[in-house]
Amino acid sequence: MCGIIGYKGARNANEVVLKGLKQLEYRGYDSWGIASLSDGINVVKKVGKISGVDDAGLGESRIAIGHTRWATHGGVTESNAHPHVSSDGKIAVIHNGIIENYYELRVFLRKEGFKFKSETDTEVIPCLVEYFMKNGSSFEDAFREMLLKLKGSYAIVAVNSDKDKMLVARKASPIVIGVGQDEFFVASDVPAFLEYTNKVIFIEDNDIVEINSKVEIENVVLGKKVDREIVEIDYDIDQAQKGKYEHFMLKEIYEQPDAIRETIRGRVNGARVEFEKFGLSDDYIAGVERVVIIACGTSWHAGIVGKFMIEALGKIPVEVDYSSEFRYRNPVIDDKTLVVAISQSGETADTLAAIKEAKSKGAKVLSVCNVMGSSVARESDETIYTRAGIEIGVASTKAFTSQLAVLYLFGVYVAQIRKTWDKDHLKERLEYLEKIPEQMEKVLKGDKEIIAAAEKHFLKKNALYLGRGTNYPVALEGALKLKEVSYIHAEGYPAAEMKHGPIALIDNKMPVVVVAVQDESYEKIKSNIEEIRARGGIVINVATEGDKKIKDISDIVLYVPETSGLAYPFLTVMPLQLLAYHIAKFRECDIDQPKNLAKSVTVE
Please state, in angstroms and as integers, the Cα–Cα distance from residue 415 to each residue in 310, 376, 423, 425, following that order. Answer: 8, 26, 10, 10
- Contact between 209 and ligand F6R (CB under 6 A)? no
Segment 500 to 519, residues that bind ligand F6R, using CB under 6 A: none
- Contact between 367 and ligand F6R (CB under 6 A)? no
- Contact between 345 and ligand F6R (CB under 6 A)? yes
- Contact between 298 and ligand F6R (CB under 6 A)? yes
**Dihedral sign, CA of 290, 296, 302, 304?**
positive
Distance between CA atoms of 50 and 26, rounded to whole angstroms? 11
Looking from the CA of 180 toward its CB, the CA atoms found within 13 Å total 17
If the CB atoms of residues 396 and 541 are measured against ligand F6R, the closer one turns out to be: 396
In 347-486, DSSP assigns E strands to 364-369, 382-385, 462-467
CB 89 within 8 A of CB 161: yes
Q: Shortest approach of ligand F6R to residue 201 CB, angstroms?
A: 22
Q: Shortest approach of ligand F6R to residue 206 CB, angstroms?
A: 23
One character per residue 458-497, x = contact with ligand F6R (rule: CB under 6 A): ----------------------x---x-------------
Residue 416 phi/psi, 5° resolution? -70, -30
Among residues 348, 375, 521, 577, which is the contact residue for ligand F6R, using CB under 6 A? 348
DSSP 8-state class, residue 178:
E
What DSSP assignment string belongs to 105-140?
HHHHHHHTT---SSS-STTHHHHHHHHHHHTT--HH
If the CB atoms of residues 198 and 345 are measured against ligand F6R, the closer one turns out to be: 345
Q: For residue 383, list its beta bridge partners.
A: 367
Interface segment toward ligand F6R; rule CB under 6 A; list 239-247, 291-299, 418-426, 579-587: 291-299
CB 122 within 8 A of CB 84: yes
Catalytic residue among 8, 90, 163, 599: 599
What's the distance, Cα to Cα, between the start and end of the chain in Å? Answer: 11
If the CB atoms of residues 165 and 398 are measured against ligand F6R, the closer one turns out to be: 398
Could you confirm whether 242 is annotated as catalytic?
A: no
- Contact between 297 and ligand F6R (CB under 6 A)? yes
Helices H / strands E in the chain, number of each:
17, 27
Among residues 396, 471, 486, 518, which is the contact residue for ligand F6R, using CB under 6 A? 396
Q: Shortest approach of ligand F6R to residue 41 CB, angstroms?
A: 34
Among residues 351, 367, 416, 554, which is the contact residue for ligand F6R, using CB under 6 A? 351
- Contact between 2 and ligand F6R (CB under 6 A)? no
Catalytic residue among 2, 296, 369, 589: 2
- Contact between 386 and ligand F6R (CB under 6 A)? no
CA–chain centroid gap for 344, Å, is 5
Distance between CA atoms of 509 and 229, rounded to whole angstroms? 59
Which single residue brings its beta carbon nearest to ligand F6R?
Answer: 297
CB 556 within 8 A of CB 460: no
Looking from the CA of 395 toward its CB, the CA atoms found within 13 Å total 30
Distance between CA atoms of 386 and 389, rounded to whole angstroms? 8
If the CB atoms of residues 297 and 492 are measured against ligand F6R, the closer one turns out to be: 297
If the CB atoms of residues 31 and 343 are measured against ligand F6R, the closer one turns out to be: 343
- Contact between 601 and ligand F6R (CB under 6 A)? yes
If the CB atoms of residues 156 and 601 are measured against ligand F6R, the closer one turns out to be: 601
Report, as residue numbers or ranges, the catalytic residues. Answer: 2, 599
Residues that bind ligand F6R (CB under 6 A): 296-299, 343-345, 348, 351, 395-396, 480, 484, 600-601
